[in-house]
Amino acid sequence: MFGNWFKTGLLMAAIMALFGVVGAMLGGGGGMTLALLIGLGTNFWAYWFSDKMVLRMYNAQEVDASTSPQLFAMVEELVRRAALPLPKVYLVDEAQPNAFATGRNPDHAAVAVTTGILQLLSARELRGVLAHELAHIKHRDILTSTITASLAGAISAVGWFGMAGGDRARNPLVSIVVMLLAPLAAMLLQMAISRSREYEADQEGAAICGDPRALADALAKIERYAQGLPLEAAEQHPATAQMMIINPLSGAGLKGLFSTHPATAERIRRLLALPL
């Protein structure tokens, strides 16, 4: 838990520094001061509200025991096994099978699944996926991943703003620097989100549901069916892709830089090696 707090604090400090540098390049001392104030506000907002922003990006709709009884009952059963508070449960109306967890801590968490994953997976496989997402909540990965998603997107936005508004004729270096901001956002994302966390969540998720093969079978199915089914919200906001159980991006252009998932085949191999 301390490691994730340290990682998140370091990420926020890096964001502040980057905002300051860009502000200075675009507007001198006044620009740096303004950018630092914006960075401070962005960090504050990201900590408290980034989960809500991500859920809005995906047009996620909250469900409960009356609107989605089977899904809700499954989450209730798994949180008892995981000794976690009950998170909010959301449904995303997308054909691509996928799922993610978000929030700042286990007491303020949410689990979201797409309609595509409900149609594709058996109940046993869906339990494995939900257990994986609950493992991220239990390990407190969700704070780092949710804040990273919103802040990496903010860095990219600053870069494009600089491209549009900077005096490029007067200072061509501004163009060069801001063109690098989107890849830099992806690099920060890569540093903040270790691929090992997916292996750890797979292992913990297998323990929560008590069935490593269920999660392995689910990952194989999702990988196979997700290809060719774009997830529009993820394509528009690629920094959020690292939150998904399987990489939802097409991989075209700069979007490929945001791929933080380990190979699905290796994840499956490790799951099948776990004792039943």
List the one residue out of 148, 187, 181, 151 whose CA is nearest residue 164.
181
The helix (run of H) or strand (run of E) holding residue 9 is helix 2-57
Tokens 């936005």, located at residue: 157
C-beta of residue 260 within 8 angstroms of C-beta of residue 147: no
C-beta of residue 104 within 8 angstroms of C-beta of residue 125: no
CA angle 256, 261, 263 (to 5 degrees): 100
Gap between the Cα atoms of 199 and 33, Å rounded: 41
Residue 63's beta-bridge partner residues?
A: 89
Gap between the Cα atoms of 12 and 23, Å rounded: 16
CA distances from 159 to 57, 166, 234 (A): 20, 10, 19
Catalytic residues: 133
Gap between the Cα atoms of 52 and 29, Å rounded: 34
Question: Dmax over Cα atoms in the chain, in whole Å?
Answer: 65
C-beta of residue 270 within 8 angstroms of C-beta of residue 203: yes
List the one residue out of 104, 124, 94 whose CA is nearest residue 244.
94
Terminal alpha carbon distance of the chain: 27
List the one residue out of 15, 17, 42, 45 whose CA is nearest residue 32.
17
